[in-house]
Structure formats: structure tokens, C-alpha cells
Structure 1
Amino acid sequence: MSLPRLSTPEEKLAAAKEELNLLRIVVICGSIRFMAEMRDADLRETTAGRIVVKPVRDMKSPGGFCSDPVEAEALKVRLGDLHRAKIRLADEVLVVGDYVGDSTRAEIAYARSLGKPVRFTHPEVDPDA
């Protein structure tokens, strides 16, 4: 007799989202230079009945949270970890903008490694196309 297979954390999360009858969750990714486009995408996705998570703020702009470069770098690392958690939580990823830099490319690769579907506002920038 074999032992029952234990659910993975991902399977438990999917089951919990289904049991809670949650709407589809979309995480928005992209270069911070596209913050205005991210807000527009947020509105479109929300209007379409999806839950949206996205970066909150451009940390490179004046008036950022930290003026100390050491603190700013530590915050950048924490926010990167938080964004990867948003990717794990989401059902799919929407990449916004007509440019994909190293950070966004890494987020796309991470999402795909988790089996998450990835959509693009500009499909021509898909690094795997």
C-alpha cells in the first residue's frame, strides 16, 4: 500500500483560492518607467473582473522612501522579494511596456519556471518569442 501523496504549497494555494471563489489574480510586471501604463493596465484588468497586484511606486524618483543609499538598496532587495511573492500568488503575469530589462526578464523567467502564463502589452518584447 502506498502512502497518500502530500499536496505541494502551490496546490494548497490553488485549492484555497478555488474554495474561496477568488477571481483570477494578475500581477503586473515591467520597467518602472512604465508606471503610467501599469496604472492603465490595472484599470483594464480590474474592469475585466481580475484582482490586480503590481509595483506600488517608482523607487528611483525623487521623494522615494529612502535617501540613504544603503537603506535604499536594502529596500530594493526586500521589494524584489515581495514582487516574487506576488508572482507566486498570481494566476498569471502581465508584462507592461515596449522594453524588457534585466529585472523584468528575470521576473518573466521566474513566472514561467512556476508554470504561470505570461501576457505582454507588447508581445514583440517577449524574450522567449
Structure 2
Amino acid sequence: MSSPQVITPEDRLAEAKAQLNLPRIVAICGSTRFMAEMAEAEVRETEAGKIVVKPGCDLKNPNPLWSDPVEAEALKVRLDALHQSKILLSDEVLVVGNYIGVSTRAEIAYARSLDRPVRFTHPEVDPDA
């Protein structure tokens, strides 16, 4: 007698996306120093018919929402968790830029742990190449 197959929340998400006939979802990752390049990548991926999710805040640029250093650090933690959720929703990841920092390296590892394909605008920076 075989064991019943366990259906994970991730499996249910994939099935729901298929039933809804959603376009592929791409999560753009990378250092926020490449926000302009991310915006350009968003245009290309959108033109290709994909839903794009990417970082929505650039903590390197001044803003009253993160002017206090303590609040900025707490916000960074929340934004990192939010971006992981975007990766979980995605079908693939596009890493933008020619530099991979600690956060981006963690995002790549997380995406790969979910078996998401990961593409790079600069393949030479792939930490697993």
C-alpha cells in the first residue's frame, strides 16, 4: 500500500496559478544600487508577457520613511521577508547587476532551494557557477 502524496502549499500555489492561466511571474533581484537596471529589466520582462515583481524601496536613497537608522534597519528586515515572498510567488528569478552582495546571495540560495530557475544579466557573478 502506497502512502498518500502530501500536497504542499507550494504545490497548491502552482496548481492555482496554472488553473488561473497566469503568465509567468519573474522576481527581479539584485542590489538596490542597480534600481535603474531593474526598471529596464522590468520593461523587457513585461514586454515579454511576464508579471514582474521587484524591490519597491531603495533604502540607499534618502526618504522620510527610513530616515531614522533604527527604523531603517527594522524596515530592511521586513523588506527582505517581503522579497522572499515575491520569490516564492515567482516562477523564475532574474538577478540584475554585476555585483552580488549578502542579501542577493541569500535570495539566490532561497530561489534555488525552491527549484526556481535563476537567470543573470551578468552570468559571471553567479555564486554557484
TM-score normalised per structure 2: 0.95
Unmatched 5+ residue regions in structure 1?
Answer: none
Quick one: structure 1 residues 65 and 116, their matched pair in 2 at CA, closer, same or farther if it must change by over 3 Å? Answer: same
Match of 1:37 in 2: 37
Match of 1:77 in 2: 77
Distance in 2, Cα, partners of 1:10 & 1:93: 16
Q: Percent identity?
A: 71
Distance in 1, Cα, partners of 2:105 & 2:91: 18
Q: Secondary structure at the match of 2:76?
A: helix
Q: Please tell me whether the aligned partners of residues 33 and 60 of structure 2 are also in contact (alpha carbons under 8 angstroms).
A: no
Unmatched 5+ residue regions in structure 2?
Answer: none
Match of 1:54 in 2: 54
Match of 2:87 in 1: 87
Distance in 2, Cα, partners of 1:51 & 1:17: 12
Using the TM superposition, give the Cα deviation of residue 39 of structure 1 relative to its aligned residue in structure 2, in angstroms: 0.2
1:84 maps to amino acid:
Q
Number of residue equivalences = 129
TM-score normalised per structure 1: 0.95
Q: Secondary structure at the match of 2:21?
A: coil
